[in-house]
Structure 1
Amino acid sequence: MRAISSLLLLAALPAVLAVKTEDFKTCSQAAFCRRGRALSERAGQDPNWKSPYTVTADTVAISPDQASFTAGVRSSLYPDIQFSLDVRVHEDGVVRVRMDEVNGMGRRYNETTSWALIAEPQVSRDVQWKIGKQDVRAVYGPKKDVEIVIFLSPLKVVLYRQGKEQVVLNGLGLLHMEHFRKKEEPKPAPEAPEGDVKTDDAQAVMQAPPNPRAWFEGETEDGYWEETWRSWTDSKPKGPQSLSLDISFPNHGHVYGIPQHATRLSLPTTCGDNSYYTEPYRLWNSDVFEYLADSTMSLYGSIPVMHAHSADSTVGIFNAIASDTFIDIAQPDAKSTYTHWISESGILDVFIMPGPTPEDIFAQYARLTGTPALPAHWALGYHQCRWNYVSSDDVRGVQKRFDEEDMPVDVFWLDIEYAEEHKYFIWDKKTFPDPKDMINDVSELARKMVVIIDPHLKRTSSYPVYKEATDLDVLIKQKDGQTEYEGWCWSGSSAWVDFFNPKSWNWWKGLFKTVQSNSGKFAWIDSTTDVHIWNDMNEPAIFNGPEISMPRDSIHYGGWEHRDVHNLNGMLFSNQTYQAVMARTNPPMRPFVLTRSFFAGSQRFGAMWTGDNLGTWEHMAVGIKMVLANNIAGFSFSGSDVGGFFGNPDPEMLTRWYGVGAFSPFFRAHAHIDTKRREPYLLEEPYKSILRDILRLRYSMLPIWYTAFREASVTGLPVVRPHYVVFPQDINGFEIDDQYFVGGSGVLVKPVTEKGATEATVYLPENQVYYDYFTNYAYRGAKGGKSITVPAALHQIPLLIRGGSILPTRERPRRSSPLMKNDPFTLRIALSNAGNARGELYLDDGVSYAHKEGQFIWREFTAEKQGKTIRISSADLGKAKPAEAVDGVALVKYNGGNTFAKSMDLVRVEKLVVLGLDRKPSRVKRVDGGELDWSFTAGTAASDGKEGTASILVIKNPVTHIADDWAIDINA
């Protein structure tokens, strides 16, 4: 009955069922974007145009410690309006540029960075500013090759490296910070003069110079004070407050980032003579069912981060603004890119990241907004979900079938139907009469559950969560700032918690307690600490609101309008949920929280998925590009719903989609309530066996994935990396977004997303050998790049190992990943052309925060050619790099004999597989011991560059343990 009631609700809300582009604004339908784009068009038509904003020379000041440059700014069109400019250089070379209106009639939203940044950045004390007549500049950097220049008239900010422009703000003169003003009553039209107008007077009128203000801001007050769209009217009591800014990359021909959009990784253009799209990219977190597979439309999350790349350097910007933002991209030639950012409100607060390498950009951005959280190890396993598993017995039945079919799974999920009348935290006892017993049945096999908690609260006094929120006065208000906002969502008439209100934070944490406290407040005692959380609908999605969301003039804590904070809203919800789940245990365990809506900094609080995709080949393919874009923008723990949320994919498509999901950081199958059941064990042969093999492949490679996540949590480097990140000087790889590397492991994957494919084309960017993961066939790259054809029948995933890599895997099939804890390891050693290789393995307990106290194993494996001998060895990286940080905490307490490492004393390396030896060894032995048991199979590929099957040396039971130092010599 609950499922039926949900269907009835859906039927009553057809706008939510499928994407209708008319449900979401285009630039031409948003007044602030119309104004910004019109300014751009006028400026582009005037070759003499220059920005009216200038720095007031007599206000230029350098702080006594040389930390920052400040000045006043005025517009020649509005000389009475004052602005403040602040430019500072951080210790790592990032340049922050801020501008705000001062002494105005109102206050612009300036708190975005208080949520996005992890701390106020440290300003460099080594910068020496120089004030000139026309500019203020500073040279800095270890090589003194970076220069920031603020041109005074007109205002322009330029970052140079070695005298070459890298990033330019306001180079096109499109900066416009709409100042606060009073609404003027319309003036009566002047009466027509009586009698004839003299010819010379008429000519004088015709030749009168145009009003420069009207030229700049437009002839009419377009949507300044009120805006009606469809049936909704948006009151604008503060008047116009949009911000327009052009950001140029004159020497970079590719730009990436600004997720979330369903488009290519290298962002296509939106304006200009040869534009790919005609509509700008939009950042406005939106609930878009069945979104288009190729579009600039806004989707569920927004990260205003952009990378610009060339073979010479990589630079980036983080535009810290949380309001509705449209972004135009133009490329006048192949070597330069110009962007125009138009936002509805907020201050100018741009962070220029100078690079010059992709690794530098990731580190610079991570120092601003934080690295991805190191997830619980089990969260990297396979997640099984649908809307909805309908009862406790249904969940038990699904688990039973996975075990009967020997398919591994770590997590079972429950969508909204578990909750009575969609009152989250309250189990529907008709269908889930024994929730704790059900949860314990799942956890008995070392598995977890995830249940959904949406942000809307059913407005009824019988719902204790809503009543407590009302009593505490932590709900979002209507535009009057007093009356509780009411909208319509799954719960029916609903209210929304305002997580900008500090009073909501501890209260929200208390809801997740699994033991009743003495306070008498609600606690989720029908749950256990094995239940983790899925935050959906947190854009927020509101069925009867404008653009299926909240009215922009709704009021949040502090008096801020929703228009100011919309893109932050979802992040605050998942942030507080993450803190709440962590607070359930003492000591705290790592939470898992999945969020649909996100912003810069959300990577600190869990995982995301790409929303309500369709079961189509196009959505399968674009999901890969979207996950790569999120990784570029710092949010590594991401994935798309395997199989598509909507539709009924045929067995071939579903099989291919599992191949995609197994190589995504977040691996979950999910489906709409109207779809047929499609759990992997339901397929006929041979599909079922192929899916079993894919799931087992994911589990065998979990050590590789977990090691990649550790690196992301330390450095900010993405878990999945496109070619331009790994090979930043290879121009042939700058647009590649259908194949990628897993961390720094050397694993190169090309998921198949085409119907009927039996082979695939893979690009090799270098003169290096690449081995097929399954057949050990050796492919040879070439200097300047080379494309190869690899087999890709339905049971095959194009998966290559870059020569010079060592991969740690666990090959024993288990029902869930925690059961693998004491399993032995296999090391696959893929020798490079030069006969060398390297790899890493990171392990900890996978659930606690003891790793921050040095409780972990971090090994480096190497294969070094020493004359006619190849020595394979294992060393303690934690000991070698004791000052490296995990989650920002220096590992000063680390020692190789830590408690966790000792608990792994008996975990063996059971096998070494060496690929690419040019001849059969004469001897294989431990450096500190005797001969080892080994076998050798000659290959058809030789070290002189020929392709063919690689030779394979298998060393069985090398009498080594994973936490020990050891060395093995392979003698020619």
Structure 2
Amino acid sequence: MPLRFLSKALTIIQDDHLGKVNAVLLKELNDGTYIDLALNISVITDYSLRVQVDEIDRQLSIAGNITSPVTETRYNETSYWAFKESPQNIAFKHSLQSDMLSLQYGHDNDHQYKAEIFLYPFKINLFYRNVLQLVLNEGNLLNVEHYRSRKSEEKEDSRDVLPEESTFDAYNDEFKDSKGDTLPFGPESVAADIDLIGFSHVYGIPEHADSLSLKDTSDTEPYRLFNVDIFEYPVQSKYPMYGSIPFMVGVKPEASVGIFWVNSADTYVDITKTALSYVDDKAIDPIEGVDFSSVSTHWMSENGILDVILIAKDTPSEVSSCYGALTGYVELPNIFSLGYHQSRWNYNDEKDVLSVANSFDEHEIPCDAIWLDIDYADGKKYFTWKPDMFPEPERMEAKLNETGKKLVVIVDPHFKTGYEISDQLMKRGIAIRNSDGKDAYKGHCWPGESVWIDTLNPNSQEYWEELFSNGSNLLGYSTNVHLWNDMNEPSIFNGPETSAPKDLLHYGNWEHRSVHNLFGLTYHEATYRSLVARNPSIRPFVLTRSFFAGSQRTCAMWTGDNIAKWEYLRESIRMCLTMNVAGFPFAGADVGGFFHNPDSELLVRWYQTGIWYPFFRAHSHIDSRRREPYLIEQPYQSYIREALLLRYKLMPLLYTQFRKSYKSGMPILKPLFYDRPENPGTYSIDDEFFLENLLVKPIMAQNQTSVSMYLPDDRKYYNFFNFTETLQGEGYHDGIRAALNEVPVYLREGSMIPTKERYRRSAKLMTYDPYTLYFATDENGNAKGQLYVDDGESFGYRDNGDYLELEMSVERGSRIQSKVVGGSGNGLFTSTLDSVRVERIILINCNATGNSVTVQQGEQRWAVDLIEENGYNIIRNPAVSINKDWAITL
């Protein structure tokens, strides 16, 4: 076929602050005529290359041809919702030849980046450190289905289409659930192929219940990104799920890349891997277990503009930081939200809720939140309570608060018709509308016939804040209630694919098909902002089921309606790791499985795995048996309790990792290839991960009592539960013990882990508990780590610098020290930390001698005991305060 694209009318805008290329792409049709498309290329935040393609004068082509109220331009506001703020353009140097424009840019003008933009045929080669990393349109699959009138489609005029385009169903849909789709503009898809050169593994594009390393789709369906309520989703599948993040990461030893496809419509991604080996100059077909030399991807979206961002860096961590600089990093969470959450559909009434909370306390099992599903609301009308079951919600909430526990309640985006709120949505014009733009759309969900709030409409925010304000029917004046936003794909029981008809209209007369994947984000962001408006001093917690790029800024997510089966336990870690790769680390899965009933072994192993999820909640279906931990028979109850206590013991470490992610976009659960990207042996591993320097391998198979564990480097690793068993040597280590009460967790030498080790009923009650520090020194006697501390609830860390960042280290096995390197010990909260002490220091592989050590803090010096126990040293009660520098001489 003829080559379709070339550039004309090339314009380069260049000054000290702005670098941008504007051009016209010519789409060559079958009859030799051309369609003009606008091409914009710019260098943006952290040297990412952004490529945008849109139709030119689309409104003029459409004028007089349709009567729909739909906005005539292509949807171009995805970035408005996905980006934290508008990116700044970065200047570049350029040179123009007869067939190619070259852009050079990078740190300190060393030109470590180069983009070669070929004019005919159109193609972009992206070089990083003089090596070709990414190629856009190598396969000539870039396409924008331009507007074609209904009349030309009815004539089946092939002159106005390309061979791979079709006039079939251009203005109607034969799919039985979508026959009502009006398709006012006909086909308007966008697509592009992007090759990753020299790469063998790619990751990301959640949400899919699949492996961490994405599979070749040559002989299967592509991965689909389309937010949908999927019942009992299959595992190892490319089916769409509740959320979509169109961001992919490629990793190889020399470099890492990212592809951010900025489009919120129904999207497919095909992946083809090319074999490394050649015979007679011909590539061998890809074979399982054989490395690959390149990965070809093909991105296709139903509509919108073509907007893609290409990132090239040294490591996947740098790619994550670059992506996070665009879309935002995870917010620092309210500390309770990192504790254990107990939920089911549904706790029956106030007595039931308080009985569950009391039972946790009686069995000395920590718990931070009790959750209420849809049946707490009167007739499933959100912002109401069943009066007989919850006569005084604030009394219940206050009782929970006595032990630091929170209440989390569900509010979905649909509202029963004939109810005050649905009436207000229609009266104020802030409901999603039918395709004619006149009336609110009415579909069916939990309350029956319902309408949906349009949170793309800025006017909806004011009303949403009214509903959440102090004294509201839902929250009253309580300070310990937080929110769960479910069903926000949106889920519509009588809609196509259990979702919204694609021709519904949102604010600005944009079709739902254009904004489908970001609707859930707009909804949970509206909730977050409303909670901040209600109480500006308290960090809200919002859980969402549906999400998009940027959702990490305001909420946590969970993987939806899983099943109490071993394969879903295994999949949960892969999915959480993928979410971490995709910049959304605050992720978890329903512990124990939502559907059906786990046996005791599966439940124990699920808790032992779930304690590592950044978001840790047990949740179950209304028809499942009660399975709160205190109801489980012994010895399984004790095993679950031990797992929960370990989660709370490691709370300081987990919170510190959230702080790092908040500042840099780093994963909280790190796949092994993030830790050692130079080691290809880590690229396929998705059943192990790092939490800082703890290497963890949960047990996710039935009747498994020993495992093989992969070490990504040659450093020594200590069993975190006894410190006497060690592993060393890159590669697999067999025969690691994993009885039902054991999980392989190993501490890497050269590191420090902070913990709190006293049982408390909730994370809130741990605020002023003392710390225990674990130092595992390397062969030179060195170890280091960080600790972050703030009040865990307010925005004082952000607004007033009311926090502490501590660097702690052992040097040459002879000196332990802690330095305040960030924040201030004089803040409203940090000034109260004089009494918070280090009560114990564990020194592993330090080989300290003597019976005592010298402690110095400020001008004071004193001696404390040093003892040896089971092959390691313990300093008991050094009595140093954490909010000031201190040192211990061994």
TM-score bracket, shorter-length normalisation: over 0.9
State the alpha-carbon separation in 1 of the partners of residues 211 and 819 from structure 2. Answer: 41
Q: Could you list the per-position Cα deviations for residues 559-586 of structure 1 after superposition, in whole angstroms to 9, with x for gaps in the alignment?
A: 111100000100000000001111111x
1:159 aligns with 2:111: no
Cα gap change, 1:189 to 1:638, in 2 (>3 Å): closer
Contact 2:153 2:167 in 1 (8 A): no
Aligned-pair CA distance for 1:80: 4.3
1:401 to 339, 347, 359: 359
Aligned residues with identical type, % of pairs: 41
Cα gap change, 1:959 to 1:59, in 2 (>3 Å): closer
Contact 1:761 1:789 in 2 (8 A): yes
1:835 aligns with 2:767: no
**SS of corresponding position for 1:635:** coil
Aligned-pair CA distance for 1:814: 0.6
Contact 1:828 1:914 in 2 (8 A): yes
State the partner residue of 1:259: 206
Q: Could you list the per-position Cα deviations for residues 577-632 of structure 1 after superposition, in whole angstroms to 9, with x for gaps in the alignment?
A: 001111111x4310000000000000011100000000000000001000110111
State the partner residue of 2:865: 933
Cα root mean square deviation, aligned:
1.7
State the alpha-carbon separation in 2 of the partners of residues 149 and 186 from structure 1. Answer: 37
Contact 2:769 2:836 in 1 (8 A): yes
State the partner residue of 2:332: 374
Contact 1:50 1:154 in 2 (8 A): no
State the partner residue of 1:449: 407
Q: In structure 2, what residue type is equivalent to 1:223?
A: D
Aligned-pair CA distance for 1:64: 4.7
1:100 aligns with 2:54: yes
Aligned-pair CA distance for 1:724: 0.8
Contact 1:855 1:901 in 2 (8 A): yes
State the partner residue of 2:81: 115
State the partner residue of 2:69: none
Q: Could you list the per-position Cα deviations for residues 430-477 of structure 1 after superposition, in whole angstroms to 9, with x for gaps in the alignment?
A: 2112211111111111110000000100001xx221122121111111
State the alpha-carbon separation in 1 of the partners of residues 126 and 23 from structure 2. Answer: 18
Contact 1:767 1:780 in 2 (8 A): no
**SS of corresponding position for 2:662:** helix
1:141 to 106, 110, 132: 106
**SS of corresponding position for 1:86:** strand
Q: Any stretches of 5+ residues in structure 1 without a counterpart?
A: 1-48, 191-210, 517-522, 879-893, 939-950
State the alpha-carbon separation in 1 of the partners of residues 3 and 604 from structure 2. Answer: 56
2:627 to 654, 665, 678: 678
Aligned-pair CA distance for 1:59: 3.0
State the partner residue of 1:243: 190
Contact 2:101 2:118 in 1 (8 A): yes
2:801 to 854, 879, 882: 854
State the partner residue of 1:552: 502
State the alpha-carbon separation in 2 of the partners of residues 579 and 189 from structure 1. Answer: 50
Q: Could you list the per-position Cα deviations for residues 146-180 of structure 1 after superposition, in whole angstroms to 9, with x for gaps in the alignment?
A: 10111101111121123321111111100110001
Q: In structure 1, what residue type is equivalent to 2:36?
A: Q
Matches within 5 A, 1:744-755: 745-755=692-702
Contact 1:68 1:89 in 2 (8 A): yes
State the partner residue of 1:591: 540
Q: Could you list the per-position Cα deviations for residues 872-915 of structure 1 after superposition, in whole angstroms to 9, with x for gaps in the alignment?
A: 1000121xxxxxxxxxxxxxxx4343332211111110000011
State the partner residue of 1:75: 27
Contact 2:207 2:225 in 1 (8 A): yes
State the alpha-carbon separation in 2 of the partners of residues 382 and 844 from structure 1. Answer: 20
State the partner residue of 2:478: 528
Contact 2:521 2:546 in 1 (8 A): yes
State the alpha-carbon separation in 2 of the partners of residues 525 and 535 from structure 1. Answer: 15
Q: In structure 2, what residue type is equivalent to 1:967?
A: A
**SS of corresponding position for 1:777:** coil
1:182 to 141, 149, 153: 149
State the partner residue of 1:34: none
Cα gap change, 1:681 to 1:713, in 2 (>3 Å): same
Matches within 5 A, 1:780-929: 780-782=727-729, 784-852=730-798, 853-865=800-812, 869-878=813-822, 894-918=823-847, 920-921=849-850, 924-926=853-855, 929=861
Contact 2:45 2:325 in 1 (8 A): no
State the alpha-carbon separation in 2 of the partners of residues 163 and 873 from structure 1. Answer: 43
**SS of corresponding position for 1:663:** coil
Cα gap change, 1:189 to 1:801, in 2 (>3 Å): closer
1:500 aligns with 2:446: no
State the alpha-carbon separation in 2 of the partners of residues 270 and 776 from structure 1. Answer: 44
State the partner residue of 1:638: 587
Q: In structure 2, what residue type is equivalent to 1:155?
A: F
Q: Could you list the per-position Cα deviations for residues 271-321 of structure 1 after superposition, in whole angstroms to 9, with x for gaps in the alignment?
A: 0xxx5xx11000000100110011000000000000011111101011100
Q: In structure 2, what residue type is equivalent to 1:138?
A: L
State the alpha-carbon separation in 1 of the partners of residues 647 and 557 from structure 2. Answer: 19
1:87 to 2, 22, 41: 41
Q: In structure 2, what residue type is equivalent to 1:311?
A: P
Larger Rg: 1
Aligned-pair CA distance for 1:185: 5.8
Q: Could you list the per-position Cα deviations for residues 731-750 of structure 1 after superposition, in whole angstroms to 9, with x for gaps in the alignment?
A: 100111111011xx311111
Contact 2:263 2:304 in 1 (8 A): yes
Aligned-pair CA distance for 1:60: 3.6
1:363 to 303, 321, 324: 321
Matches within 5 A, 1:379-398: 379-398=337-356
Cα gap change, 1:677 to 1:527, in 2 (>3 Å): farther
State the alpha-carbon separation in 1 of the partners of residues 868 and 784 from structure 2. Answer: 21
**SS of corresponding position for 2:861:** coil
Q: In structure 2, what residue type is equivalent to 1:695?
A: L
Contact 2:855 2:864 in 1 (8 A): yes
**SS of corresponding position for 1:226:** coil
Aligned-pair CA distance for 1:184: 2.2
**SS of corresponding position for 1:299:** coil
1:128 aligns with 2:93: yes
Aligned-pair CA distance for 1:186: 7.1
Q: In structure 2, what residue type is equivalent to 1:466?
A: S
Q: Any stretches of 5+ residues in structure 2 without a counterpart?
A: 62-71, 276-291
Aligned-pair CA distance for 1:490: 0.1
**SS of corresponding position for 2:308:** strand
1:485 to 441, 454, 474: 441
Contact 1:759 1:793 in 2 (8 A): yes
Q: In structure 2, what residue type is equivalent to 1:375?
A: P
- Normalised by the length of structure 2, the TM-score is 0.93
State the alpha-carbon separation in 2 of the partners of residues 525 and 763 from structure 1. Answer: 49
Q: In structure 2, what residue type is equivalent to 1:166?
A: Q
State the partner residue of 2:883: 963
1:719 to 668, 676, 679: 668
State the partner residue of 2:718: 771
**SS of corresponding position for 1:228:** coil
Contact 2:838 2:879 in 1 (8 A): yes
State the alpha-carbon separation in 2 of the partners of residues 546 and 134 from structure 1. Answer: 47
State the alpha-carbon separation in 2 of the partners of residues 895 and 919 from structure 1. Answer: 33
Q: Could you list the per-position Cα deviations for residues 354-411 of structure 1 after superposition, in whole angstroms to 9, with x for gaps in the alignment?
A: 1121221111111100000110011100000000001111001111111111100000
**SS of corresponding position for 2:354:** helix
State the alpha-carbon separation in 2 of the partners of residues 635 and 173 from structure 1. Answer: 33
State the alpha-carbon separation in 2 of the partners of residues 395 and 923 from structure 1. Answer: 51
State the alpha-carbon separation in 1 of the partners of residues 154 and 502 from structure 2. Answer: 29
State the partner residue of 1:197: none
Contact 1:658 1:694 in 2 (8 A): yes
State the partner residue of 2:681: 732
State the alpha-carbon separation in 2 of the partners of residues 922 and 688 from structure 1. Answer: 40
Aligned-pair CA distance for 1:788: 4.2
Contact 1:513 1:524 in 2 (8 A): no
State the alpha-carbon separation in 2 of the partners of residues 146 and 349 from structure 1. Answer: 20
- Normalised by the length of structure 1, the TM-score is 0.86
**SS of corresponding position for 2:395:** helix
State the alpha-carbon separation in 1 of the partners of residues 205 and 377 from structure 2. Answer: 35
